Structure 1
Amino acid sequence: MTELYAIALFLFVLFLLLGTGLWVGLALMGVAWVGMELFTTRPVGDVMVTTIWATSSSWTLTALPLFIWMGEVLYRTRLSEDMFKGLSPWLARLPGGLVHTNIVGCTVFAAVSGSSAATLSTVGKMSIPELRARNYPERLIIGTLAGAATLGLMIPPSLALIVYGVSVNESITALFFAGVIPGLVLAVMFMGYVALYATFSKTWAPIAETGMSFAEKLRNSRFLLPVICLIVVVIGSMYLGFATATEAAAFGVIGALVLAAGQGSLNWQTFNASLMGATRTSAMIALILIGAAFLKLSMGFTGLPRALADLIASMELSRFQLLMALLVFYIVLGMFLDGISSVVLTMAVVEPMVREAGIDLIWFGIFVVVVVEMAQITPPIGFNLFVLQGMTDHEMGYITRAAMPMFLIMVVMVFVLIWLPDLALWLPDTIREAR
């Protein structure tokens, strides 16, 4: 009975504070403060200060602002234009034509950005006008952009995986490698949907592309070299064991600045804008993480996570049943919170349950990221939907309907992960054994 009272109180205070418009990080701290005051005799102020310092001084967390800055720098380059020039000759002949540039472009940019919003903005600002001019279906253009941009949360370097790794104290590098194959599989599933749409739709009538010789395609591929080199530097340095995630992030920032300078996009104005953008985003995420760490400690003192884990264990749910319950839980939560907030808010309670069920935390990180990817395209708080609304001027209902097939594909991806857990575990395990 005490646990139910504590849960009700925590939720009441949380939604009360969030309903007032208070920042998520401060709302989490407020809930933790109330919990500590009511359920423990410990000095709340001392505990809060210690937690804030320990969380904000984490070396692992250093990778976060660096990867964000790298994405901000690349957002201000001609990268999207160059990617379109390099990819379009190779993709034009596939069933679905140049719509595939949305998916492949987002996949490539996700590998150097880590941010879903940055991926969507960078690829969309170039592909939307080009695809509209070629008479591709508007709903397919918007839907594929909304879905493929979420790959920025999974394909390394992923901000969501960094936040998850810090929350559950797991290796960021291992999580990065765990996200590679599922991210690519999800991209292929998106491309398969586009191919089927193009094959069976009776209204499919894009303007045919002018044929290119193989030599011309190769010449256009030179536009992809800068971003491929950057991916090799960032991901390759971690794969070969030359760098940790934080050191790879530093290499990525240097590479992004060199790329921007080489394109003539780097000046004091863009440098300052990228630095300030990275600072604002990093501060926002850091505040959420600090609030979540304090809440996790507060709930630990009350014994609530352990009690909930024991309650779930007493229900004797199978592994599959527990995952289905968490799937529904995160989809509902994602309708009201962004992906990163959903992860840090719930890990204090969910982590003990997952450990009790014997679920691998590296695999579960990929499971959670796939599910919170859905939050990016589910109303009313789907962030990608708002970005697309600003870019296209369509109503939110239209954009939501366009993104629905991508949402359903992500649901299928969850079941694929459950059925084939090695999709997430094979690469990190292989690298670990090789070292």
Structure 2
Amino acid sequence: MSVSMSVLTLLLLLVLFLGAGTWIFAGLMLVGAGAMYFALDFSWVRIGSIATKVVSSSAVSWELAAIPIFIWMGDIIFRTDISNRLFRGLSPLVSRIPGGLLHTNVIGCTIFAAISGSSTATTATVGKITIPELKARGYDVSLASGSLAGAGSFGLLIPPSIAMIVYGVLAQVSIAKLFAAGLLPGVMMAALYSGYIALVSLIRPSVAPPHGEPVSWSVVLRGLLDLVPILVLMTIVLGAIYTGVATPSEAAAVGVFGAIVITLVTGQFAWQLMIDSLKSTIRVSSMILMLIAASAFLSSAIAYMHLPTMITESIAAMNLSPYGVLLILAVLYIVLGMFLDGTSMTVMTVPIAVPLIVHAGFDPLWFGVYLVIMIEMSALTPPVGLNLFILQALTGETIGKTVRAALPFFLLLCIGTALLAVFPQIVLWLPNTL
């Protein structure tokens, strides 16, 4: 079968099953089975045998153990007053910078992302504190919500990142190196966001109230004490991974222990909190792991069809430059992001995208960060931009106003992606030095 017919078969099956409202994991399984039956003429017995073998083997990968444990760590912290402490601790440090407390969105999300791994959790946790406070103090609601929509996506880029774990398992790339690769790009994007906020504040002083009285050192020190728990937890988890003392899964277990200690030290430990966090962790982890298993089966179908090789050869015959390949993938991910969540985008595209990227001369490690930023963009694009819905609920604004507020930060993500493409060492330097 030609590459065009193979792609058309898959697309038709995807439209049929996903468009009919089928659960995504079930849709992926049905697409894989349908492709094997219609395109390859496999018997249902053989398809069942392949599905059993692939799903069972993909579900027992040790690297996957990090996903539920990191989710549990983030969910425990989500149910504490850490976000309040973040705002109190950061406020004295940023009050004199142009833009003032608007920077708490960016810095707060950057810090919280280091213990969350989730874009939606980061946006909701930081936003439920900062948005009411910023509105009450007279800050521009549009800039406040836009900066939070953009910075909330750092939950995917700043390690530990659930999206990176999923990509690492599917693409067979070191998860520890992926975590290291995301650190500098995350800091770079935070600097771009804060720089934009400062620039807008200088051009339009009305977006932020005038500076108050200088903050005393005693207030700054009290603020720093509020930041100690989350900074200690972040240092322990990431330090264990980067120094090689622990694998990501082991570091996640240490992180859960640290999160429990924080609840004990701050007097917030409760058995109901632990039960609720476990229930939430089971729901989210089950969803992600089922998607990974279904993706592994779909990847097998794609491999049997020799589709990655055929697509790679077809694009190679077009004589596109490496940046041309990146541009095509960027457009594809932006379009997919309008309709799918990040995990679904990852599991559906990695089997085909990674061979293309390798053929174009890019490092799969670098592509992992590129993919995560593409997923971040999807969180800011309607109609399925999850961060947009969270911000709409927090601010009470219409979805149209929320989209317009997030647009500058979407464009900053595009600029950041271009910088990473031109200067790939921003991604590769840290993992190559470990």
Whether TM-score is above 0.5 comes out as yes
Q: Select 1:144's aligned residue among 142, 147, 151.
A: 147
Give secondary structure in 2 for the equivalent of 1:394. coil
CA contact 2:96–2:211 (8 Å) conserved in 1: no
CA contact (8 A) 2:99 2:208 kept: no
Percent of counterpart pairs with the same letter? 43
Deviates more, 1:316-325 or 1:98-107: 316-325
Call closer, same or farther: CA 1:37–1:191 in 2, change over 3 Å.
same
User: 1:343 is matched with which residue: 342, 346, 364?
Assistant: 346
Q: 1:50 is matched with which residue?
A: 53
Structure 1 position 207, deviation (Å): 5.5
Q: How far apart, in 2, do the equivalents of 1:389 and 1:21 lie? A: 25
Q: Tell me, yes or no, if the aligned pair for 1:99 and 1:131 is still in contact at 8 Å.
A: yes
Are 1:389 and 2:392 matched, yes or no? yes
Is 2:166 aligned against 1:163?
A: yes
Specify the alignment match of 1:4 in structure 2. 4
- Aligned counterpart, 1:33: 33
- Alignment partner of 2:98: what SS? coil
RMSD value over aligned CA atoms? 1.2
Q: Distance in 2 between matches of 1:205 and 1:2?
A: 59
Q: Give the secondary structure class of the aligned counterpart of 1:257.
A: helix
Match of 2:193 in 1: 190
Which residue of structure 1 lines up, in the alignment, with residue 324 of structure 2? 321
1:312 is the counterpart of 2:280: no
8 A Cα contact 1:135 1:207, kept in partner: no
Instruction: Give the secondary structure class of the aligned counterpart of 2:207.
Output: coil
Counting only pairs closer than 5 Å after superposition, residues 50-199 of structure 1 correspond to structure 2 as: 50-199=53-202
**1:298 has 2:310 as partner:** no
Contact kept in structure 2, 1:73 and 1:271, CA below 8 Å = yes
Residue 352 of structure 1: aligned partner = 355
What is the rounded CA distance, in whole Å, between the counterparts of 1:325 and 1:388 in structure 2?
A: 30
- Matched residues in 1 for 2:219 and 2:140: separation? 28
Whether the aligned pair in 1 keeps the contact of 2:100 and 2:208 (CA below 8 Å) is no
Task: Confirm or deny that 1:364 pairs with 2:367.
Answer: yes
CA distance in 1, matches of 2:203, 2:433: 40
Alpha-carbon separation, structure 1, partners of 2:148 and 2:207? 18
Note if contact 1:40-1:302 (Cα within 8 Å) is conserved in structure 2. Answer: no
Q: Which residue of 2 aligns with 1:282?
A: 285
Moved more, 49-58 or 103-112: 49-58
Give the structure 1 partner of residue 20 of structure 2. Answer: 20
The CA distance in 2 between the partners of 1:338 and 1:358, in whole Å, is 28
Q: 3-state DSSP class of the match of 1:373?
A: helix
Secondary structure at the counterpart of residue 212 of structure 1 = coil
**Offset from partner CA, 1:1-58 (integer Å, 9 cap, x none):** 6322221111111122111211111111110000111214360001101111111111
Task: Choose which of 203, 221, 225 in structure 1 pairs with 2:228.
Answer: 225
Instruction: Write the letter of the residue equivalent to 1:260.
Output: T
Match of 2:247 among 237, 244, 247: 244
Matched, 1:405 2:408: yes
Q: CA deviation at 1:202?
A: 5.1
Cα separation, 1, equivalents of 2:79 and 2:212:
29
Describe the superposition over 1:140-187 as per-residue Cα deviations: whole angstroms up to 9, x where unpaired: 110000000001101100111111101101100000000000000000
1:216 matched residue in structure 2: 219
- Normalising by structure 1, we get a TM-score of 0.97
3-state SS of 1:47 partner? helix
Q: SS of 2:206's equivalent?
A: coil
Separation in structure 2 between the aligned mates of residue 413 and residue 151 of structure 1, nearest angstrom: 13
- Please give the secondary structure, in 2, of the residue aligned with 1:18: helix
In structure 2, what is the Cα distance between the partners aligned to 1:347 and 1:219?
A: 46
Give the counterpart letter for 1:88 in structure 2.
Answer: S
The answer to whether the 8 A contact 1:134-1:207 is kept is no
> Counterpart amino acid of 1:9?
T
Question: Residue type matched to 2:416 in 1?
Answer: M
User: How many angstroms apart in 2 are the aligned matches of 1:302 and 1:157?
Assistant: 35
Structure 1 unpaired stretches of 5+: none
Aligned-partner SS, 2:80? coil
Match of 1:203, SS state, is helix
Tell me the amino acid that sits aligned with residue 254 of structure 1. F
- Aligned-partner Cα distance in 1 for 2:283–2:306: 35
- Once residues 54 and 176 of structure 1 are traced to their aligned partners in structure 2, the CA distance between those partners, rounded to angstroms, is 25
Unaligned runs of 5+ in 2: none
**How much has 1:127 moved relative to structure 2?**
0.5
**2-structure distance, mates of 1:6, 1:333:** 19
Contact 1:94 1:195 in 2 (8 A): yes
Q: Under a length normalisation based on structure 2, what TM-score does the superposition of the two structures give? A: 0.97
How far apart are residue 205 of structure 1 and its match? Answer: 4.6
Q: 2 CA distance for matches of 1:181 and 1:155? A: 9
Please give the alpha-carbon distance, in whole angstroms, between the structure 2 residues aligned to 1:6 and 1:314.
18
> Secondary structure in 2 aligned to 1:266?
coil
Query: What per-residue deviation string (whole Å, max 9, x for no partner) do you get for residues 225-256 of structure 1?
Result: 00010011100001111001111111111111
CA distance in 1, matches of 2:423, 2:98: 28
Q: Once the 2 structures are TM-superposed, how far is the Cα of residue 260 of structure 1 from its aligned partner?
A: 1.6
SS at match of 2:324: helix
Amino acid at match of 1:152: G
